[in-house]
A and B are shown apart, each in its own frame.
Chain A
Amino acid sequence: MGTVLKIDHIKKYYGNKTCLTKAISDISFEVQKKEFVAIMGSSGSGKTTLLNLISTIDKVTAGSIVVNGTEITKLKGNKLNKFRRDELGFVFQDFNLLDTLTAYENIALALSIKKENPHLIKEKVCEISRMLGIENILNKYPYQISGGQKQRVAAARAIINKPSLILADEPTGALDSKSAAMLLSQFRELNEKNEATILMVTHDAFSASYANRVIFIKDGEIFHELNRGEDKRSVFFNKIIDVIALLGGDVNDVI
């Protein structure tokens, strides 16, 4: 088991000297291969900033991020694009499917951007969609399918390149509870059977309970960490709820 993601004392500050916002003051953690990690925190805690930094959309102020042995904070230009293309897969809260493309084409686009051999595309798309149970909607346009299906298409698009790390930003945010549960169990399955490494940002305890490990962030720092171990999901869920209760601030904060 290797380390896929290693975050080492990263800092991210916005603004200037007179008005400094510390979005991330100091965070370090590691994600191992085949892990399913959830990052939780209330809004403003810095979890989206963290995701942006990992996905190279934003730059760190200090510290280092290593993905699969590559120091990504120093990447520039085309190398950055190549890194994003080869190592990362994205799943967004509002699906972000391209509405002019069919589901099939949305998935295939990820492959063709990677300059995959056109003849292999069909085979790969079919395989992945079978796994996610979306074979029968492949020729439909995003506006013709449900939210859950959309998110599964988005997931298919994210994992089809077999990235070292899948970044999911509130993937269940726009789904009803049933579709959310279905998607998350598919994430689990991907994680277990396909050995996909998933880093999911969420503020929903239910979603987080599907993960192996949950990292809690508060005010730009790691507040707590929970390992599921051999627990049942319901047990793990309760543990998470307990931490969340603390996360909002403890009794000492109340004057």
Chain B
Amino acid sequence: MMLFKLSYKNIKAGIKDYAVYFITLALGVAMFYLFNSIESQSVIVSMKKDQNDLVEIAVQVINIISYIISIIFGCLIIYASRFLIKRRKNEFGIYLTLGMSKKQVSYILLGENFLIGLFSLGVGLIIGICGSYFVSGLVANLFEADMRRFYFVISGKAIIKTIVCFGIIFVVDIIFHMFQVGRYKLIDLLYANRKMESIKIRRIWPSVIVFILSIVVLAAAYHLALVDCFTDSITTNMQLKLLMAIILGCLGTLLFFWSVSGFALRILRYKSKVYYKELNIFTYRQLGYQINTNVIAMSIICILLFVTLCICAAGFSIKEDLTNKTKKSIPYDVEIQKTVCQKNYQVLNETMDRALGYEKQDKEKLKDISLNRMKLKKALNKLDGTYLANFKDYTVIKPMIWYGEKNPLQKETKNISQFTANEAGGVKSPKYSFPIFNRIYKQSDFNKIAMISKKNTVSLKENEYAVYYNCELDTLQNIVEDEIKLTDINICGIDIVPKYKKIKKATLSVDNSGMNACASIVVTDEMYNKMYNILSKRYYDYMEQSITKINSMKTLDEKTNYYDKLSSSDNPGYEVIQNRGMANYEVLIGNYKAKSSNVRRQVDKNIKHDIVNSKDYVGKIEIIGSKSEMIDASVGVGAITVFTGLYLGGGCLIVCVALLALKELTNNVDSIEKYEVIRKIGADEKMINKSLFKQGVIFFMIPLAVALVHCIFGLQFTEKILLFSDAKLNAVTVFVAFVCIIAIYVAYFVVTYLNSRRIINRK
């Protein structure tokens, strides 16, 4: 009990020494609670019920980050309490000489740690609970949830999780210190204050050389990331270059911090007016020493800050952009697709089956055929008789897929079959290779879509065509424009001429991923029918020939071999087989009657449920996209990005500034005697405070400044990468993120400065 009293008194006396430690701990606890309580917030709970799995994913992401954050905080706390112990070695020495056992000394430490931990846990939880009130508003906003459902909840689960997690951290911390105390030698403890520190002062000239080198390395890293990464066309090469850029960036940062103080001192010494003014010699030397002894820590802090800035800025921007883009890019509520075959296609299939020696069609197959031939509307009605009643307006259209091996629109002849989905949709290089167009629409269908999505209709002359770019991606459009020539072309042996000189933009299908993210051709209905007939006939004739050939063969092996070859891409008739006009599909697009997003969501859910549950229709009817689902998805992805950004970024930031603050404080504690000397030489308190302030500002600013410079380039890189998915960095959100970060930074700086002043002016 006596020991506990001692612990309590120690804390009471040294409460201000613990300020940074305490604040960091409390902030950590608050943040931990905040993000872990999100799961239990009423908004999220209700969203979990009716929205998608993305909320679940968001919760899981938060869980994973929580583990990372708690590990980082664990390390920080151990480091921070090491600082506190360092200050008190002498005191422990006295305890030991008074006859206390090491065990008892560790009990004192344990008591102190326990008290501080308990206190900060309590305060942190209170901050967290208050904060979560505001955060759940933000969360509801992020998920674009109905705010009326919002009420405030204190999450017992999150509290327990926080207590357990930080409890473990404390236990580890305490074990670590018990171990340390056990290793102390009395002499070291008693003379801890007098021990001369070995100082590392670097020579000036190597610093200058290394500084120049670091600038060169950094410039090379920036150049690699911003220029070289985007000039080459092979994706893997880019990753390699990016890796190189990161390594060079880290190396450059390290060299920079190694040399910056030496270099700056060299420069400053030439400016005798600045250097020899008041306490400046001391201030700069002290700073230089501080930076030199903390090269690795400073570099890590700088890089962490850079990552934080980028994550926060990019996270918010992507979220904003994604949500806006999604809302804009889906002009109608739902798009449903079904393969619908012509009768003679079925007949052909049956003939082929017989030729290959298959016996009479079994019941399943017959059912399959009848389903294949069923029109989309009928199939939907069969699935759910009331579904179509949900629509305010809808239309069924019949686009034709074009698998032209040689694309008539393309400037250079390229083989479309070479493209993989990855290359077409993913990141490759500014010089993309695309399937230029792959759908043919008839004018009336196009105008139906235009009516539903309230866009302009088109009217073409007999032999005219128009090209519509089926995507909202501005950047990709430019690339496509580069590749497409709008001249007279020939499709299926018919000559057509362009109506417009430019490619137009129109969303004809919401499926704009991969192969579909490209242009469509619109022709008149007559022309469409002509093409359709030509393609169908071509296919029919080709298959008839093949069937005759198969029939003439003797062994079954030969037959199946021949049949298999037909569908391989090196078959000369491949293009004909792919462009089987007779086996195409129908697409239903439309808008729901209901205005409430919940009802729409429910309608989507019901039909989806029906499709999945009815075995017969599996694969036959397919929901290409529904507005509510896509918005939910984008909001979800956006929210996850923001959560990740805020949590990880915020965590890193707190750790960074706490580290900086501790380094600064440690240094000041070690320099108390120096200030004493300076005071005796005649420096007044004003000068000393000014020097302390300057040291603090510069020490805090240098990593931030370097991180900001990294950011200028890093964000440019991010923006270039985002271009591929057409997200843009939002200047306002980037600005807000920066302001938040700088606010936390300044707060920590002020606490540190006041604390340093207190340490130095103690006497």
Partner of A100, one of B277, B279, B288, B681: B288
Name, among B199, B280, B281, B286, the residue most crowded by chain A CB atoms within 10 Å (CB to CB).
Answer: B281
CA distance A141 to B288 in the complex (A): 14
Q: Does A224 contact B (CB under 8 A)?
A: no
Knowing A100-B285, A141-B201 are in contact, say whether A90-B681 is a contact too (CB < 8 A): yes
Chain A residues with CB under 8 Å of B678's CB are 98, 109, 113
CA distance A86 to B683 in the complex (A): 11
Partner of B280, one of A81, A96, A111, A112: A112
Nearest neighbor of B273 in chain A, beta-carbon distance:
A118
Q: Does B682 contact A (CB under 8 A)?
A: yes
Q: Does B687 contact A (CB under 8 A)?
A: yes
A112 in contact with B278 (CB, 8 Å): yes
Chain B residues with CB under 8 Å of A98's CB are 282, 285, 674, 677-678
CA distance A81 to B680 in the complex (A): 9
CA distance A108 to B686 in the complex (A): 19
CA distance A240 to B285 in the complex (A): 44
CA distance A57 to B197 in the complex (A): 27
Can you list, as one digit per residue, whether each of A85-96 has a CB less than 8 Å from chain B (1) or not (0)? 110101010001
Can you list, as one digit per residue, whether each of A166-192 has a CB less than 8 Å from chain B (1) or not (0)? 000000000000000000000000000
Q: Does A84 contact B (CB under 8 A)?
A: yes
Q: Does A127 contact B (CB under 8 A)?
A: no
Minimum distance in angstroms from A95 CB to a CB of chain B = 9
Chain B residues with CB under 8 Å of A122's CB are 272
Q: Does B53 contact A (CB under 8 A)?
A: no
Interface size in chain B (residues, C-beta < 8 A)? 30
Can you list, as one digit per residue, whether each of A61-105 has a CB less than 8 Å from chain B (1) or not (0)? 000000000000000001001101110101010001111110001
A141 in contact with B199 (CB, 8 Å): yes
A121 in contact with B201 (CB, 8 Å): no
Knowing A113-B681, A118-B276, A157-B681 are in contact, say whether A105-B285 is a contact too (CB < 8 A): yes
Q: Does B275 contact A (CB under 8 A)?
A: yes
Partner of B281, one of A78, A90, A92, A105: A105
A118 in contact with B277 (CB, 8 Å): yes
Chain B residues with CB under 8 Å of A108's CB are 276, 281
CA distance A90 to B682 in the complex (A): 10
**Would you list which residues of chain A between 126 and 150 have a CB under 8 Å from chain B?**
141, 143
Nearest neighbor of A161 in chain B, beta-carbon distance:
B682
Q: Does B368 contact A (CB under 8 A)?
A: no
B276 in contact with A110 (CB, 8 Å): no
B687 in contact with A113 (CB, 8 Å): yes
Partner of B682, one of A99, A105, A110: A110
Nearest neighbor of A142 in chain B, beta-carbon distance:
B199
**Would you list which residues of chain B between 263 and 308 have a CB under 8 Å from chain A?**
272-273, 275-282, 285-286, 288-289
Can you list, as one digit per residue, whether each of B664-689 has a CB less than 8 Å from chain A (1) or not (0)? 00000000011011101111111100
Q: Does A22 contact B (CB under 8 A)?
A: no
A109 in contact with B281 (CB, 8 Å): yes
* Chain B residues near A (Cβ < 8 Å): 197, 199, 201, 272-273, 275-282, 285-286, 288-289, 673-674, 676-678, 680-687
Please give me the 9 A-B residue pairs with the lowest Cβ-Cβ distance, nearest first. Answer: A85-B682, A81-B684, A118-B276, A100-B285, A96-B677, A118-B272, A100-B289, A112-B276, A90-B680
Q: Can you list 30 A-B contacts with CB-CB less than 8 angstroms, sorted by A residue number?
A: A78-B684, A81-B685, A84-B682, A86-B682, A88-B682, A90-B681, A92-B677, A92-B680, A96-B673, A98-B674, A98-B677, A100-B289, A105-B285, A108-B276, A109-B279, A109-B282, A111-B276, A112-B277, A113-B279, A113-B678, A113-B683, A113-B687, A115-B277, A116-B276, A118-B272, A119-B272, A121-B272, A121-B276, A141-B201, A161-B682
* Chain A residues near B (Cβ < 8 Å): 55, 57, 78, 81-82, 84-86, 88, 90, 92, 96-101, 105, 108-116, 118-119, 121-122, 141, 143, 157, 161
